[in-house]
């Protein structure tokens, strides 16, 4: 027999305390469960009412967190918390996500099943405990029971078993000793029963209050994706540093040496061909150096080291169109994940390039701020507006992550759980709104 199933063990009494808590809470929990469908049915015709029902479904997550705390503190049964609710964008999508939140409904199912189980388990456990303690201490208080007069005129008091004229009283030392033994047996049975009920509650908690295999897989994939995004950004920074400090520096040295060789070459008909080759090599080296600088700037713009606000203003200054940049105060006050800064920079760069190439616009406006989302978490919000011809859209089947155009921007933004919205009626103006988290999740 496990020491946890002994009547004098701490775990046995913790288990009983847990059953008492479940017994006290089960009427409230069951009322909450009944309220969800009844409120939803009564307010079905109103969207606001459905939001109230959806709020109750999400509220069941709070009940689940409370039950997980009880399991951990009293049953020593750790139940992993499921992934938090992520509110999608859009009114109807939000309503649907609330009403059909799987974690909330599994918590409601737990509360529904717990109602009869809590009643039965507490009553059975309490009866066994009362009988066990009563039998164990019977020899102390038996004398206080009232006297009973039998049919033969004798008077007895104490616990009795009667059947017509037959009777049996526990009023002798030996019979009291048997009552003590019976009480001890009931206490051992009480501990076993209570441990069994506790294990049943623990199993139910693991089945309904924890994450499902699918949600665990989704959370792990999101974690792996975040790691991959951050790792890719680190590798790009390393490549940029190696090209800037190594290849670019050597190419500059090569161009200077070719230039010096060309200048020191004596002018004569015999050296004219060599001079022409050196001139061509010098020009090619300078062109390669210019292209390499553009590649380095594309991998990781140095301006990003000074903050996203400075980088965007630098980018706008190099644009072929007049670009107005409005950066809200405090955008660079708190750190932004490097991967997020890079995605924001490349998105704006690609959008401004599209404005120049395709929009037929005369000017563009870039607005950057850091509002809080619906959950109070900071976000980086970017808006690019142009006065062009409009009609911009994300074309399906275009190149994926790392590609150009709106499809490439959309996939870059989606890789960190950001969002992209486009408003581009015919005739313009075109407004592209991007929302990014401050950190890679």
What would the pLDDT profile of 30-65 be if each residue is shown by its tens digit? 999 888 887 766 666 666 667 777 888 888 898 999
* More reliable by pLDDT, 312 or 218: 312
* More reliable by pLDDT, 306 or 57: 57
pTM: 0.55
Q: Using alpha carbons only, how large is the chain's radius of gyration in Å? A: 38
Model pLDDT, residue 27: 92
Sign of the CA dihedral 314, 316, 321, 325?
A: negative
Q: Report which listed range, 121-135, 148-162, 276-290, 374-388, is most confident.
A: 121-135
Least confident of 300-304, 332-336, 384-388: 300-304
% of the chain exceeding 90 in pLDDT: 10
Reduce the DSSP state of residue 319 to 3 states and report it.
Answer: coil
| Position 399 pLDDT exceeds 50 | no
* Res. 401 pLDDT band, cuts 50 70 90: very low
Going from the C-alpha of 369 to that of each of 257, 328, 376, 420, 436, the distances in angstroms are 48, 5, 15, 15, 11
pLDDT digits (tens, 9 = 90+) for 93-144: 777 777 778 888 899 999 999 999 999 999 999 988 888 877 777 667 656 6
- The structural domains of the chain, with segments of one domain joined by +, span 3-208, 221-299, 304-437
Name which of 142, 151, 232 is nearest 416 in CA terms. Answer: 232
Model pLDDT, residue 402: 40
Q: Contact at 8 Å (CB) between 308 and 332?
A: yes
Model pLDDT, residue 403: 42
Alpha-carbon span 348 to 352, nearest angstrom: 6
Going from the C-alpha of 342 to that of each of 147, 305, 386, 394, 413, the distances in angstroms are 91, 10, 22, 21, 11
| Mean pLDDT across the chain | 76
Alpha-carbon span 118 to 204, nearest angstrom: 12
Model pLDDT, residue 180: 76
* More reliable by pLDDT, 283 or 143: 283
Q: Contact at 8 Å (CB) between 380 and 401?
A: no
Average pLDDT score over residue span 229-248: 63
Phi/psi-derived region of residue 176, left when phi > 0, alpha when psi is between -120 and 50, beta in every other case? alpha
DSSP 210-255: S--HHHHHHHHHHHHHHHHHHHHHHHHHHHHHHIIIIIHHHHHHHH
Q: What is the DSSP code (8-state) at residue 163?
A: E
Q: Contact at 8 Å (CB) between 434 and 419?
A: yes
| Position 398 pLDDT exceeds 50 | no
* More reliable by pLDDT, 325 or 137: 325
Question: 304-437: what fold?
Answer: Heat Shock Protein 90 (3.30.565)
Helix (H) or strand (E) holding 373: none
* More reliable by pLDDT, 341 or 119: 119
DSSP 185-204: HHHHHHHHHHHHHHHHHHHH
* Res. 167 pLDDT band, cuts 50 70 90: low
Q: Report which listed range, 148-162, 187-201, 280-294, is most confident.
A: 187-201
Alpha-carbon span 263 to 279, nearest angstrom: 10
């Amino acid at each position: 027999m496990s020491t946890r199933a002994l009547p004098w063990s701490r775990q046995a009494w913790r288990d009983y305390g847990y059953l008492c808590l479940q017994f006290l809470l089960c009427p409230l929990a069951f009322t909450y469960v009944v309220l969800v469908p009844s409120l939803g049915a009564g307010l079905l015709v109103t969207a606001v009412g459905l939001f109230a029902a959806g709020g109750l479904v999400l509220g069941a997550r709070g009940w689940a967190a409370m039950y997980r705390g009880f399991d951990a503190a009293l049953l020593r049964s750790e139940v992993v918390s499921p992934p938090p609710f992520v509110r999608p964008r859009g009114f109807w999508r939000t309503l649907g996500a609330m009403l059909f939140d799987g974690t909330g409904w599994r918590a409601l199912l737990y509360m529904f099943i717990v109602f009869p189980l809590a009643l039965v388990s507490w009553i059975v456990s309490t009866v066994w405990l009362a009988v066990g303690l009563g039998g164990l201490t019977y020899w102390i208080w038996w004398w206080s029971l009232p006297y009973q007069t039998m049919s033969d005129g004798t008077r007895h008091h104490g616990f009795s078993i009667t059947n017509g004229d037959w009777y049996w009283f526990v009023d002798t030392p030996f019979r009291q000793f048997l009552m003590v033994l019976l009480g001890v047996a009931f206490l051992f049975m009480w501990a076993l029963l209570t441990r069994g009920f506790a294990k049943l509650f623990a199993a139910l908690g693991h089945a309904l209050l924890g994450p499902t295999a699918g949600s665990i897989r989704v959370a792990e994939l999101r974690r792996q994706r975040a790691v991959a995004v951050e790792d890719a950004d680190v590798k790009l920074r390393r490549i940029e540093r190696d090209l800037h400090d190594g290849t670019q520096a050597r190419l500059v040295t090569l161009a200077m040496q070719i230039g010096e060789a060309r200048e020191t070459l004596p002018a004569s008909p015999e050296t004219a061909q060599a001079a022409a080759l050196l001139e061509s090599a010098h020009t090619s080296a300078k062109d390669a150096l210019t292209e390499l600088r553009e590649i380095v700037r594309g991998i990781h713009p140095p301006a990003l080291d000074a903050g996203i606000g400075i980088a965007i203003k630098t980018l706008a200054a190099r644009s072929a169109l007049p670009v107005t940049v409005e950066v809200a105060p405090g955008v660079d006050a708190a750190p932004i994940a490097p991967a997020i800064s890079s995605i924001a920079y490349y998105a704006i760069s690609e959008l401004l390039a599209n404005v120049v190439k395709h929009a037929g616009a005369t000017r563009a406006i870039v607005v950057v701020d850091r509002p809080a989302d619906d959950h109070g978490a900071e976000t980086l919000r970017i808006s690019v507006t142009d006065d062009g011809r409009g009609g911009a859209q994300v074309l399906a089947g275009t190149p994926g992550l790392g590609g150009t155009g709106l499809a490439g921007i959309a996939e870059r933004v989606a890789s960190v759980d950001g969002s992209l919205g486009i408003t581009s009626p015919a005739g313009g103006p075109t407004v592209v709104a991007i929302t990014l988290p401050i950190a890679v999740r």
